[in-house]
Amino acid sequence: MVMKTPSICSILFAFFVLFSCSWTVSSHGHDDFLQCLSLQSKDHTSISNIFYTPENSSYSPILNFSVQNLRFASETTPKPLVIITPVNESQIQPVIYCAKENGMQIRVRSGGHDLEGLSYTSEEPFVILDLVNLREINIDVEKKTAWVQAGARLGELYYRIAEKSRTLGFPGGVCPTVGAGGHISGGGYGTLIRKYGLAADNVIDARIIDVNGRILDRKSMGEDLFWAIRGGGGASFGVILAWKLQLVDVPEKVTVFTISRTVEQDATNIVHRWQYIAHKFDEDLVIIVYIRRVNSSQDGKRTIQATFQSLFLGGVDRLLPLMQQSFPELGLQREDCTEMSWIESALYIYGLPVGPLDVLLNRTQANIRYLKVKADYVQKPISKNGLEGIWKRFFEEEAEDAQHLFFPYGGRMDEISESAIPFPHRAGNLYKINYAVYWDEEEESERYLNWSRRLYSYMAPYVSKFPRATYINYRDLDIGVNNKGNTSYAQASIWGLKYFKNNFNKLVHVKTKVDPTNFFRNEQSIPILYSKWTKNGK
């Protein structure tokens, strides 16, 4: 990238802006990086307004604004030397250039939901490129498309779609505070998965800044890179700026229901039956199962509860006979069902009151706690004994605030090839399991992490094998990490094959071509085929 060299007057002005507040530079890298930014930026005043160092009073609020897991908000968590919050694309290019020049890593944060904190922590000197201000959304109802910038939250996307049309939607995730950049680059799924596939399956163009500072769209980046960023994790290949999405048709009215059953109410048999049929339902129907420990309403003793939550793309009159035919064991009644618009179902499924839609514009998530998540894919129904073994572990002390999510596949997911995009978990998978455990005290972290690992070990006989697959957006460093510095293909394949299976090799080849110095890297980034690069990535 050719950078414009400013005049000596503008350089002196930039230094006045940058350092007139008597900041103490904590390291030479910090100092040199800011000096480089002042030299490489066309508008020095605007640059000075979008970066924050630890000496700035806004540094901590901005750092913590998008932290979604208290495990990565402690005093000992590595902190960035600088946080950059660009308001336009041109402000990102100097950040990449100067980070390369000064041997600093870039961590790109769109929503902060990386479950291992990799979008805002690093063991190496780093800066955070926080895309919180890049949140523009443009909807074209006639063409049924949307351009959404990477820093926009899913709730904002759904809200803007509903502003223009109540019969268009998008098959993204349930949580409205998740950022579009990271969510879609890892695949992204929600309640429309069985009808329309993943969020990434419905991307038709993208904008990305590569390691050389070039802004590329689908045509200029080429089909290999466009393939890689839709499910392979965008952080390995550059900075995702925006996605062009294919919006999907939804009916004017959908139907939702939530039914809970405890083990005393035959939950074990109902969940066991669900495994055989949930992936075969009409593609307009998704029934999710949540497993948690509760107190029995009868005697107050602890028991296990399975909650069946559903979205049906149609009216209750069509749903009831479908359920009676395919899943009578649940005992669904008309009074259990509520008809509403698709956008209202986005509130309902997430547990928000069905009412004013502007709650979807809230960019912060309430009640942030310590959290560990793992995931598996189930290809054969788990036996009743196996399910009861899971229930047993929910009675352990650490499981007080644990939850399992069983999310059914089938439908459109069975029709899309494993290699269409890097996301390989398609036909043959009955459902995905998400294991989550929450807690409130930092000193208890190891105990809860160990509980999560014991549960994961117990599940090994019941889930996918060779490899034991998992989902990149439920990142789990327990399954393997890159070595610091030179990461070998063999080391990275330990975790890479679990996320991407046979697509891992192609991802490595694309990475090697577009980022041969391995500048865009983290503990689970795609490696390059060779490691002839220096410490500062030049």
CB atoms within 10 A of CB 258: 16
Do 284 and 312 touch, CB atoms closer than 8 A? yes
User: What H or E segment, with its residue span, contains residue 445?
Assistant: helix 445-459
Both tokens of residue 134? Answer: 């890049």
CA distance linking residue 408 with residue 374, whole number of Å? 17
Name the residue among 308, 455, 443 with its Cα closest to residue 395: 455
Q: Is 409 a catalytic residue?
A: no
CA distance linking residue 364 with residue 65, whole number of Å? 7
Residues in the chain, overall count: 538
DSSP letters along 23-69, please?
PPP--HHHHHHHHHHHHH-S-HHHHHTSEE-TTSTTHHHHHHHT---
DSSP lists the bridge partners of residue 303 as 294
Which residues, other chains included, contact 277 with Cβ-Cβ below 8 Å and sequence gap of 6+? 326, 327
Catalytic, out of 158, 431, 448, 474: 474
Write the CA distances from 172 to 80, 120, 158, 176, integer angstroms: 30, 23, 9, 10
If you count DSSP H runs as helices and E runs as strands, how many of each does the chain have, helices first? 18, 18
Query: What is residue 293's three-state secondary structure?
Result: strand
CA distance linking residue 151 with residue 163, whole number of Å? 19
Residue positions annotated with a catalytic role: 474
